[in-house]
Amino acid sequence: MFLCALALTPCLNADTAGPAGPSPETNDDPAFVWDLSLLYKDAATYDTAKTKLVGDLPKLKQYQGRLGESAATLREAMVLLTDLQAQYIRLGSYAALKSDENLRDASAMERNQEMDMLASELSNAASFVSPELLAVGEAKLRGFLDTEPGLAVYRFPILDTLRNAPHTLGAEAESVLSSVGMIADAPSSLYGVLANADLPWPKIKLSDGEEALLNQAGYTRWRAVNNRADRQAVFEAFWGKMKEYERTFGVALFSQVKTDWFNARVRRHPSSLAAALSGNNVPEAVYRTLLAETNANLPALHRYFKLRARMLGVADLRYWDIYPPIVKLDKKFTYAQAKELTIAAVQPLGADYVGMITQSLNGRYAHVYPRPGKRSGAYMSGSVHDAHPYVLLNHNDDYESVSTFAHEWGHGLHSVLANRTQPAPLAQYSIFTAEIASTCNEALLLDHMLKVAQDDDERLFYLGSALEGLRGTFFRQAMFAEFELRIHEEVEKGNALSGAALTKLYGDILRRYHGDAEGVLKIDDLVTIEWAYIPHFYRNFYVFQYATSIAAAQAFAERILANEPGAVDTYLGLLKAGGSDYPYELVKKAGVDLATPEPYRALVKRMNSIMDQIEAILDQRAK
């Protein structure tokens, strides 16, 4: 729908449950808490802005039935709609960020819910635009675009509306669908509150006597401990508790998949996948090629697991052996060091990029440490066109936190570049390109860390971390994408999905990817509830873009690090392009075609190369 995608979805990390973090006394230091007064001075200012938007919404009505009147009238309507969306995006971003500071804060949750309602009102008020543009007709619209300079920034979205003609309904039907948006996020909201705030997480005592609270953040922290018996205990307690809520999580996810299918059918798409990809005009070949290439290259993933077992000294690798580093690095990485290392790592991107990221890191744009009730994981929020992006972190003074930091600020600088280069209607970029910026930063960080590593142990640690990143961002996300496709296909066939059915389906895929039948890694029944832990399944074919993006990012990073002529300018040009074209086309123009096998095969080749380096060090030591 024309200009009605109110893009407030944060860019989530591939594994969203964040680490537990250092001592709580650091959490209230203003230096580690974002300054949202840069969006609104105070609650009263926010309320005034909300009242203004509510009062401005009826102004759209004066343009209904008049979009074909003249080019000037169309320009006025587009300017007004853009302004209304800008008002909403600022309000919605502020409400979401405040809510994520403490999900237990009822008033903040209510403010966020009010934004959901207001989004529906805005979408409903603008629902006449797309049907009416189609009624005006392509010839007349192109005439307006060619004669009115003020419409130049709207050319791409207007032509995109024409592309979507087969999936656009009449004004009345569009209005009804916009109203349905008020309830469409109920499954996701249910999941978020249950998983982050209400679920009674267990506590266990570890072998050293320390008590571990296994909420989502605690699980991420303690699943990587060195003591194998402790890891098993963590898994049994955490997934055992999740299993108790299998029915509830099942209802939530089944409801989400039904909602996706409803929206697809109403808009005359043949499948939920086709509907999800249609918005950004991504060829279905991208999704299908990703899954085909991932499955064809599972031997590389199994090789990694065998190498992990060798380095951990484990004969019977289990799922709780995936997360501990294959080489222990007794080294802490403070938040200040994360800044320094990231700035050093992105030097190949040039002085301008380094200057921009340095300026960003010196501002109060990040919420750094965990707090009770704070949303777990990490994300970047950069939808407000005339404001600086914000980053939510859960820093834990480890290397994973450094990698996450570089990842999220890759998103942040993407937004800075796009917002500075593109006008508001063309600045918002797709997740399809967003994850390229973040994972390219991770690749540059790895290259830097290998250069500054002081011995083979440190090099092994960083190489192992890179392998885990490729597993988690490529193979794991492709596995999620395959599961997501399967559950949507089941609903499209008219089949029901209980929590138990979802666990069975997910377990089958999980075992295949991890080589259970081949004796590579044993998957116990207790972890097959893992699907219930993944919030991305409520984002309608979101996860595949992590896998496609890391493949593209590896290609760009290799060219940049090899000092290929024009590589930096081409890459930064992709970031600056924002949403000025379809994301697949932008990446293809930059030299990477994600509908072909080559990027995925190159990534697997890179993964095998890293394993070759690790094995060479191990073999040399064994002599």
Tell me, rounded to whole angstroms, the distance of Cα 103 from its chain centroid.
20
Query: Which amino acid, residue 535?
Result: P
User: What does the DSSP 8-state code read for residue 127?
Assistant: T
Does residue 390 sit in helix, strand or coil?
A: strand
What are the residues facing 345 on neighbouring strands?
none
Which contacts of 594-598 are long-range, i.e. CB under 8 A and separated by 24 or more positions? 594/286, 594/289, 594/290, 594/548, 594/551, 594/552, 595/283, 595/285, 595/286, 595/289, 596/289, 597/289, 597/292, 597/293
Q: Which of 159, 166, 285 is nearest to 582 (CA)?
A: 159
Q: Which residues are within 8 A (CB) of 485 and not within 5 positions of it... i.e. 6 or more apart?
A: 273, 287, 291, 541
CA 328 – CA 461 distance, rounded (Å): 7
What is residue 488's three-state secondary structure?
helix
Annotated catalytic residue within 174, 293, 400, 408: 408
Map residue 584 onto helix, strand or coil.
helix
- Catalytic: 172? no
CA 141 to chain centre: 35
Angle between helices 544-561 and 598-622 (to 10 degrees): 70
State phi, psi for 379 to the nearest 5 degrees: -160, 165
**Continuous H helices in 297-423:** 298-312, 335-345, 351-361, 399-421
CA–CA dist 474, 40 (Å, integer): 39
* DSSP-assigned beta bridge partners for residue 366: 391
Residue carrying the six token digits 């991932």? 294
Exposure string for 272-293, b = 16+ CB within 10 A, e = fewer: bbbbbbbbbebbeebbebbbeb
Which residues are identified as catalytic? 408
